[in-house]
DNA sequence: TCATGAAACTTCAAGCTTGAAATAATTGCC
DNA sequence: GGCAATTATTTCAAGCTTGAAGTTTCATGA
């Protein structure tokens, strides 16, 4: 979160960038989390899972979710468990491979997500309001390239 | 973590930026967390607390730490508890105000942190290696301004 | 066939995180 | 002085997170 022992020298600019990046995303994330809780009584991880499923009406495997959301398998299990118990998501056993199950949004889950996502988008617009749309595109480009370069994924 | 229902329209560029920002910081954070665990058997929150204390040899109050690190008070309590039990940090009761205590790195904590911070810095340099130092400075500037604009803090 | 290994998940312990409620100490006001 | 409000911190329940270990199912080659 913060700097190391010294504060000048090679690599310091990258360290400073990382600290900024982390502080920015933590600040915004905290604000979004709080609003999701207050306005919709839900959480960011639940929202993330529902967002992923919303993009895939045919459903996703647990491991797909895990890979896409960059979180561990066991983590997804717990979040999906809670979403299932709230009736927002279903686990459908498949005929082909009985180890896996397709996770899908229910009709209720889908409608619920659409409402939340709309608010979420306007919150992000507000929180990033001082970044012009043009600047946003440039920043996005930089972030995209450095990440895909680093790990090869994308 | 991911986009909302539609994928074009006003504000979409900011939403995309936010998604990139979040993915970038999560990816880097996950890698750093893993290395901290493997190489030094510690965690990112512990590292963050120690980094804050390293900058303040005179010590910090719990509430200072909480504010600086952007995490809740109760959270800091737990992390400091563990650091104390590991001998890396001390809580010194103050004469003036008996509600508060000054948290400081021990000598061991300070030496331990210096070693970890050095590795941490080179990891960040590696992970952000595709960003030039110049680009890093520009990105940092953008991130700095948008956050301080948004909440007034800094 | 059927054993061996791989794949998809779940379970679990430990730690992180928040927000709310509880404690304790201080400050300010009468 | 004494009491109300404020401040600093801890405690707690619920949920998130990881990595390791365990379970079930599938694939494959002798």
Judge: A133–B13 Cβ closer than 8 Å, yes or no: yes
Mean of the per-residue pLDDT values of chain B: 88
Judge: A4–B55 Cβ closer than 8 Å, yes or no: no
Spatial contact of A10 and B118, defined as CB atoms under 8 Å apart? no
CB atoms within 10 A of CB A86: 14
- Write the residue in B14, B125, B143 that is nearest to A136 by C-beta: B14
DSSP secondary structure, B112-124, as one string:
HHHHHHHHHHHHH
Protein residue with the closest CA to the C1' atom of nucleotide D26 = A97
Scanning residues 15 through 54 of protein chain B, those with a beta carbon under 7 Å from any atom of strand C turn out to be 43-46
pTM: 0.88
Name residues whose C-beta falls within 8 Å of residue B141's C-beta, 6 or more positions apart in sequence.
Answer: none
Q: Which tens digits make up the pLDDT trace of A56-67? A: 999 999 999 999
CB atoms within 10 A of CB B26: 16
**How confident is the model at residue B145, as a pLDDT?**
66
List the one residue out of B93, B117, B115 whose CA is nearest residue B104.
B93
* Nearest nucleotide relative to A78: CA against C1': D16
Protein residue with the closest CA to the C1' atom of nucleotide C20 = B74
Judge: B4–A137 Cβ closer than 8 Å, yes or no: no
Among A87-96, A103-112, B138-147, which range has the highest average pLDDT?
Answer: A103-112
**R_g of chain A, CA atoms, integer Å:** 19
Q: Which tens digits make up the pLDDT trace of B36-90? A: 999 999 999 999 999 999 999 999 999 999 999 999 999 999 999 999 999 999 9
CA B95 – C1' D10 distance (Å)? 20
More confident site: A8 or B71: B71
List the one residue out of A116, A131, A109, A112 whose CA is nearest residue A28.
A131
Say how far apart CA B53 and CA B109 lie, in whole Å: 10
**How confident is the model at residue B104, as a pLDDT?**
97
Say how far apart CA B88 and CA A1 lie, in whole Å: 18
Strand locations in A11-132 (E): 89-93, 101-105
The confidence band for A46, taking pLDDT boundaries of 50, 70 and 90, is very high
pLDDT at B105 over 90: yes
CA A38 – C1' C19 distance (Å)? 11
- CB of A15 within 8 Å of a chain B CB? The answer is yes
Q: Which tens digits make up the pLDDT trace of A92-151? A: 987 789 999 999 999 999 999 999 999 999 999 999 888 777 878 878 887 776 655 555
């Amino acid at each position: 979160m913060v700097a190391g022992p010294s504060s000048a020298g090679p690599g310091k600019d990258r360290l400073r960038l990382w600290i900024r990046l982390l502080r920015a995303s933590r600040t915004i994330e905290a604000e979004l989390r709080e609003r999701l809780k207050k306005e919709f009584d839900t959480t960011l991880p639940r929202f993330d899972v529902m967002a992923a499923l919303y993009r895939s009406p045919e459903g996703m495997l647990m491991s797909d979710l895990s890979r896409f959301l960059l979180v561990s398998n066991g983590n997804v299990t717990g979040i999906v468990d809670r979403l299932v118990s709230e009736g927002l998501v279903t686990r459908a056993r498949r005929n082909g491979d009985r180890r896996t199950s397709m996770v899908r949004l229910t009709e209720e889950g889908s409608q619920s997500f659409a409402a939340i996502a709309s608010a979420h988008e306007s919150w992000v617009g507000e929180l990033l309001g001082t970044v012009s749309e043009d600047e946003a595109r440039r920043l996005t480009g930089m972030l995209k390239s450095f990440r895909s370069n680093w790990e090869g994924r994308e």
